[in-house]
Structure formats: structure tokens, C-alpha cells
Structure 1
Amino acid sequence: MACVTKCSESQIYIGTKAGGHLRHSLQSAKHTIKIVSPYINQKFLEELLIQATNGLNVILITSEDLYRQYLSQPYNRDIFTILIEQQRHIDQEAQQMAKDGILYHTKIVKFLAVLMLTSLLCYPVIPKPLGLLPFFILALLLVIFFKKIKHYKQMPIYSYTYKSPIKIKIIRDEQTYCKLMHSKIYVIDDIIAYIGSVNFTYRAFEQNYETIVKIIDNSAITDISSEVDRLYNETQFKYIDISVIGRSLYPEPAY
């Protein structure tokens, strides 16, 4: 369903560098930035993350193209390491259990090692058919307890989650509800909105021949901002969970 709004106050920019006014508005944002763009640029994203770190509420909605770039060029991971942070969680109970298990079985191994040494020293005075039997029994027990120690050392104690400093949604293409996410929408502080052909990329802002409309009509801005919020919270869309990318981006040692 389309968002329908009316606008009585707007400014239209056409040509190269049409995004210059938009970029200035983005850099001057005080409270919130909402962006819908199929394509994003790493440098612009870094600036956006700095603003989020400084307390701005940032929403970014982009297309599956971002994920496809990662799949086709996995060596180009910078944009995702900027966008996705790994958080490691420690299972304190499992960690303590592992420590206790290692300590306990290490003591047993040391004790068995002393017994083995004793059995070797006593070997000359023990009747030959039975002389090596204690040694082999102790060796078998050592193997068993070494495996126990290895088990505790490899006990999973870490789990991982992923988050982004900004609110991001990566919308999948070819959906029943939406064939392709192709809009370019920018809302700054809920007092200015831009719509047009300009992607959130350097080429679109500075080099391409683009068209962008700056809207300063309060009623229209409210409608556009609400539409971006609805798009972000829309449950009918299929999204790419950032955890899927995060798990392929970062190692996840369990212990």
C-alpha cells in the first residue's frame, strides 16, 4: 500500500552535486536521522556511526544488494565490521565447572603419575608375569583422565550475539509483499525530509546527475517519517538478520 501525502513547501535540486544540500542537512542533524537507500557508501556509513555514537537515533533501511556484495566479495569486510559488532557472553556456571573439573582431574593425573613411577621402580622385585600389570592399568587410567581434562578444557562457555550501533534493516529482494526496495528517503530531526533518486553514496551525492526534493512541509514530513518507521517495523517483509552476517564475519570460539 502506498503512502499518500500532500506537500505545499518544497525545494527541488537537479543535476550533479544535487545531494550536497542533503549531506549538509545530515551532518547538521541534532536528534534523529532516518535513511532509506538501496545502496550505501562506507565513508558515509562511518560518518553515520560517529553520529550514532554521539547520541543520535539513526535508522538505516537498505536492500539485499549490501549482503550480495559481501557474498561475492568476502574479502571486502570493512563495511560489515563497521556495521556489525560482536558481543561475547560468558556462562559463569559452565566456566566454574570447567575450572573445577580441570583442577580435580589434574590432581588425579599427578597422583597416577607418581604411582606409575613407583610401579616402575618396584618392577625388578615383582614377579615378572605381574610386573608390568600395575603399570599398564595406571597408564590406562591416565589416558582416561587426560581425556576428562580435555573434555573440561573444551567445554563451551562462550555464546555470541550481534548488534549494530544503528538501527538497521536489510530487506530481501523478490518478496511477495515487495519486489524490490528502491526508495531513497531521508528524514532529519523530523523537520526536514528529502526524497528523490539520490542513494547514500558518494557518487550519487557528488558525481551522478540526480534529482532530489527537499520537503519542509510539516504535515508531509510527519507522513514520510511515519512511513519510514512503518517500513522499519513492517513484519511482512523478510529481512537478513545481522547475526547471519556476523557469524560469517567473526570467529566464535566456544571455549
Structure 2
Amino acid sequence: MYYNGAICDIYIGKGAGTKLMKEINRAKNSIKIVSPYLSPSLIKELIDFHEKNIDIELVTTDDIEDFQINKNGRSKNIHKLIIQNRVVDDEAVKKREEWLVLKKVLNSIGWGLFTSLFLSGYYLRNINVFFGLLPVFFIFLIAKIYKRKIKLKRIYSYWYSQLFPFKVYLSPRKNYLSDTFIHSKIYLIDDKIAYLGSLNFTASGTKHNYETRIRTEDPKAIHEIKEEISHLLNHSHLPEIDIQMWGKQLYREPIN
């Protein structure tokens, strides 16, 4: 993207994100962010904005800090952005229930015969009675086979969705297929105010570091910036993390 002649103001120094964060917190409709690095506390703020029905769009890289240390322990932020959805196979559930009933019946028959034969052999003092235990062990063997079939029967399948639209690009150090690192820092608030500069969407970037940023409300610049964010979110061909594969790494997937 190239655009010249935008009307903007410039800030250089510490606290470059102070005004940015104030205007983000006053957003009415939407917040769009491009930042290679994210702090867990600010991910939490985006989740809070989403819960207030503000549209969120995020473009970042695979260097996301997942944990936020607090008095209650560790909170996994990425788990909150990626939602696990579970689908139940009704036919598999029905088959599994049939096997469960059959296993219980076989175990009941087996224990009943075992008890009867054992007591008969004991009171009759006839060792030949115990040969009748062979079919009993065969019944228990069949019951054990069904127990394993029940354990291995898959009745759940999983797929993953996003809490709000976001794209996570692979950094070159983790993927040899690309030498492009998404290093831009872009903030678009309500499609009316844009910030660009060096500050990441991190606690240090927005509060403590010596940073550079520009702010503009120039309509033509805003249009171009909005288009660029849309391209990064929807149409870029750079290597990215697959949400389905990532979800499988983050969550357990019990089969039944």
C-alpha cells in the first residue's frame, strides 16, 4: 500500500500508546489491529470488547504470549480465542449403548455361572464340575473384547472456530516457506481513526517503551488502511497457522 499527503499528527517518546488506548476504549463499533506481538492482558481486553458487541479483527504472528500470571494462577488466553465445537455421531452412540448392554449381560451371565459352578464343586466335592468354568472364561473373554470395542468407539468429532476474526501468520524463523514477517503495527478504530507506528499491542509497547506513532482521521488514508487490513485478514497468501490444527494442539479430544 502507498498513500501520500495524509493529514496526521506525530508522537515520539514514552507513552506513545496512551491516547491510542483511550480511543480504543471509546470505540463504538469496531477495532481492527495488526500487531506481531500481543500481551495477554490486552488479548483479554479484546475479548471484553467482543463481549460488548464491538467487532474485532486481529492480524498477528505466532509469537503470542499465552499466559497471564495473576493471583488466581495462569489464564490461557489462546484457548479463549479458539472455540472447540463437538459433533455427536448418533449412530455411533446407539451402537456403543448396545455394546454396553451386551457387555453387562455377558458379565452377569459369567459371574452367575462362575458362582454356581464354584459352589457346586465345593459342596459336591467333585472336581469335574470345575471343568464347566472353561465356557465361563470364554464368556468373560468376549465381554473383555466388547469392553475394548466400547473404549475405542468414536462418538465425538471436533472442529474449531474463532471467537472473532483473526489471522496468525507464521514467522520466518518457524517456517522456511516464507521470508516475510508481518511487522506492521496498525490500529483502526470505528473505521474513522487510524494509528500507525512502532508500538506493538503489548503492555510495554503501549505504556513504557520509547516509541513512534502517527494518528490520522484523513478519510482517504483511512480507506486505504482499511483495505490493507482486509487484505491481510482475508486474501494474503503468506503461510499461516491452520485453526483446525492449532485447536487440536490446544484441546483434548476425547473420542467418547
Same fold? TM cut 0.5: yes
CA-to-partner distance for each residue in 1:179-227, whole Å, 9 max, x for gaps? 2111001111111111111110111111111111111111110111011
SS at structure 2 position matched to 1:132: helix
Q: Residue 51 of structure 2 aligns with which residue?
A: 53
Q: Residue 229 of structure 1 aligns with which residue?
A: 230
Q: Residue 36 of structure 2 aligns with which residue?
A: 38
Aligned 1:96-115 pairs, distance under 5 A: 96-115=94-113
Structure 1 residues 249 and 8: alpha-carbon distance in aligned structure 2, compared to 1, 3 A threshold: closer
TM-superposed CA distance for 1:13, in Å, is 1.5
| Residues 77 and 249, structure 1, Cα contact 8 Å, conserved in 2 | no
Relative to the length of structure 1, the TM-score reads 0.86
| Residues 56 and 165, structure 2, Cα contact 8 Å, conserved in 1 | yes
* Aligned positions, number: 246
Q: Which moved more, 1:204-213 or 1:85-94?
A: 85-94
Q: Residue 144 of structure 1 aligns with which residue?
A: 142
- Identical columns (%): 30
Structure 1 residues 240 and 77: alpha-carbon distance in aligned structure 2, compared to 1, 3 A threshold: farther
CA RMSD in angstroms, aligned pairs only: 2.4
Structure 1 residues 219 and 178: alpha-carbon distance in aligned structure 2, compared to 1, 3 A threshold: farther
Q: Structure 2: any 5+ residue segments left out of the alignment?
A: 67-72
TM-superposed CA distance for 1:48, in Å, is 0.7
Relative to the length of structure 2, the TM-score reads 0.86
1:157 pairs, out of 152, 155, 158, with 155
Q: Which moved more, 1:45-54 or 1:159-168?
A: 159-168
Amino acid at match of 1:226: E
TM-superposed CA distance for 1:126, in Å, is 9.4
Q: Residue 70 of structure 2 aligns with which residue?
A: none
SS at structure 1 position matched to 2:237: coil
- For 1:31 and 1:156, the matched residues in 2 are separated by 43
- For 1:9 and 1:62, the matched residues in 2 are separated by 27
| Residues 88 and 160, structure 1, Cα contact 8 Å, conserved in 2 | yes
Which structure features the higher share of strand residues?
A: 2
- For 1:206 and 1:186, the matched residues in 2 are separated by 16
TM-superposed CA distance for 1:16, in Å, is 0.9
